[in-house]
Structure 1
Amino acid sequence: METKRLDGEPGGLSTLLRAALPVIPGVNQLPGVKKVSPKNFTGLSYARTAIAVTRAGVDAYSAVCSFPRKDTAPLPYPHVLAFPLHMAIMSDPAFPYPGIGMVHMENTITAHRAIGVGEVLDLTTAVAAPRAHDKGALLDFVTTVTAGDELVWESVSTYLRRGARTVGEPDAGLSFTDAPTGGVQWKLPGDLGRTYAGVAGDPNPIHLYPLTAKALGFPRQIAHGMWTKARSIAAIENRLPDAVTVEVSFKKPVFLPGTVAFAHRQDGDAHTFALTSPKDGAPHLLGRATPA
């Protein structure tokens, strides 16, 4: 699989526009916009090199996700550095689906050690052929982060593309049993999506304003899934080892402004947690953390 290099300052509205063009009739047939058939897609990879973990970036991320200020980056922070690679892949004509409409279903992060502020990292994200799902196709965006020759962090973000079902046996996905309920309530402001977008480089319209969210089928703006994961990790980060795997399944969206309940249970070295609706207990996020 060829790895393309992403240079310069990535992300932002221009990348989002390129991801949206393939859903516009007529425009989606133009050279440079027209997508390949899913049947012909075997994989795609992008890389960023020599990316510094800056004090300003870590502090801004920590503030919006409620992590304490430290000389190491919060566990989920490298996802922010890798997200431009996700968008580069989704907006590439060689990727078979439009970026707009991809639904983040699951995310697994494995940190092999803490990453210090000031470290310089190389990042690669690769996606292979789609997998079967009852509602369409699943695509796993696999990210590896290295410091020199050392693998320090990796993740898998699984996205669903609704529509024609990919041939094969559907994957059951992450399974969570006996998840905790209730817990402490968090009140989330209406501008949370805009604030997180500013530090994470993810200005998807569904997260920004009621009007932009309604244009894409939501009654009002929703919180970023990766913010809900980050905020949940922040609530228990002082109990987690530096080498840890955190898996989550994103369930129902969190509408903004809104209130969610966070519950956590520890069984030995394992942690199970959930973000639910205080009204009916419906899950927004289910997760677990285990030593890596």
Structure 2
Amino acid sequence: MPELHTAPNLGALYLKAAATGPTRRGGELPDTEYVLRGITIDPAQLAEYNRVCGFGLRDELPITYPHILSFPASVQLMTDKGFPFPLVGLVHVANRIKQDRPLLVTDELSQKVRVADLRPHPKGKQFDVVTETSVDDEVVWRETSTYLRVGKRDENAPQQRRREVEPGAASGTWRVPADIGREYAAVSGDRNPIHLHPLTAKVFGFPKAIAHGMWSKARCLAALEGRLPGAFTVDVDFAKPLLVPSRADFTMRSTGSGWDFALHSRSGKPHLTGSIRR
């Protein structure tokens, strides 16, 4: 269980990913688990993250914030020599976070990050990046981010079932600016070129830059701020990419045990569908 003394340098890791990507030929996932202890919250960075994602300023961390704290370790894992796939080209298809209690700005955190569960997908292979966040050796926050490596079609792979949330009457219509990818990259460190500029997005087959999936998830949760319990689980599936600039309709409905929510294009196609359960 390698221990990281500081968060990995994302700039260096992206350069490594660009240089080593063509050499990745598939195989099994490594069993490496990285550990980073003594993580403290930078109030200025947190305030900027809250601004970009739509959260208010509070003593509690947004449930999505530990994702960006663990992101450098995740990229380290996915650029290590034993990792089977190129980092560039991986598609973030789902994300699940379970929080046992709110994390506070004053908490000192420890995080463990690993990759797991390589399995077939109708469009290739998928796997999970699993993160645990602890306070005083107690795990209070868990995340599973699922990534797809598009490849050879597997007819025997189980069909993927996406949560269905009907558009209905929008709870809100959001204008998503052209620079949201660059703004989120500045606070998260996720500088995938598909998010940064139309020209770099076109290299990877997108007509325009696309918003980060985790920005979309955070923005939806910010719309529910003040109504969320201290302990809950939030699942999302990422569907159609959210091209920017654009407008998107946010829809939510109470289920008794929580909420279902979605972000749709103006044509009604889903960008994101999700659920919150106490």
For this structure pair, what is the TM-score category when the shorter chain's length is used for normalisation? over 0.9
Match of 1:32? none
Structure 2 counterpart of 1:181, which letter?
Answer: G
Q: How far apart, in 2, do the equivalents of 1:238 and 1:172 lie?
A: 36
**Residue 137 of structure 1, aligned match among 122, 125, 142:** 125
Residues 248, 264 of structure 2: 8 Å contact kept: yes
Q: Which residue of 2 aligns with 1:112?
A: 100
Shift of 1:181: 3.4
Q: SS of 1:53's equivalent?
A: coil
CA distance in 2 between partners of 1:262 and 1:99 (Å): 30
1:147 lines up with 2:135 in the alignment: yes
Matched, 1:87 2:58: no
Deviation at 1:140, TM superposition (A): 0.7
- CA-to-partner distance for each residue in 1:13-63, whole Å, 9 max, x for gaps? 221121222334xxx3xxxxxx4741x435332221111122112211111
How far apart, CA to CA, are the structure 2 residues paired with 1:277 and 1:152? 34
Cα distance in 2 for partners of 1:17, 1:72 equals 34
Give the match's secondary structure for 1:227.
helix
Aligned 1:22-171 pairs, distance under 5 A: 22-24=20-22, 28=23, 35=24, 37-38=26-27, 40-164=28-152, 170-171=157-158
Say whether the 8 Å CA contact 1:180–1:265 is kept in structure 2.
no
Instruction: Give the aligned CA root-mean-square deviation in angstroms.
Output: 1.8
Q: Percent identity?
A: 40
Q: Which amino acid aligns with 1:22?
A: T
Query: For residue 228 of structure 2, what is the amino acid of its counterpart?
Result: L
> Are the structure 2 counterparts of residues 208 and 42 from structure 1 closer, same or farther at C-alpha, using a change threshold of 3 Å?
closer
Match of 1:269 in 2: 257
Partner of residue 5, structure 1: 3
Amino acid across the alignment from 1:236: L
Unaligned 5+ segments in structure 1 are 29-34
Task: Say if 2:174 is the partner of 1:176.
Answer: no
Map 1:244-283; keep pairs closer than 5 Å.
244-278=232-266, 280-283=267-270
Q: Is the 8 A contact 1:123 1:145 kept in 2?
A: yes
Structure 2 length-normalised TM: 0.94
Normalized against structure 1, the TM-score is what?
0.89
- Measured against aligned partners, the alpha-carbon deviations of 1:119-170 in whole angstroms (never above 9, x if no partner) come to 110101111241111111111111100011211101100000011367x953
Q: Which has the higher mean CA deviation after the structures are superposed, 202-211 or 177-186? A: 177-186
2:85–2:149: 8 Å Cα contact kept in structure 1? yes
Opposite residue 188 of structure 2, the aligned amino acid is: A
Once residues 92 and 247 of structure 2 are traced to their aligned partners in structure 1, the CA distance between those partners, rounded to angstroms, is: 21
Q: When the two structures are aligned, how many residues end up with a matched partner?
A: 277
Q: Pick one of 180, 190, 193 that aligns with 1:192.
A: 180
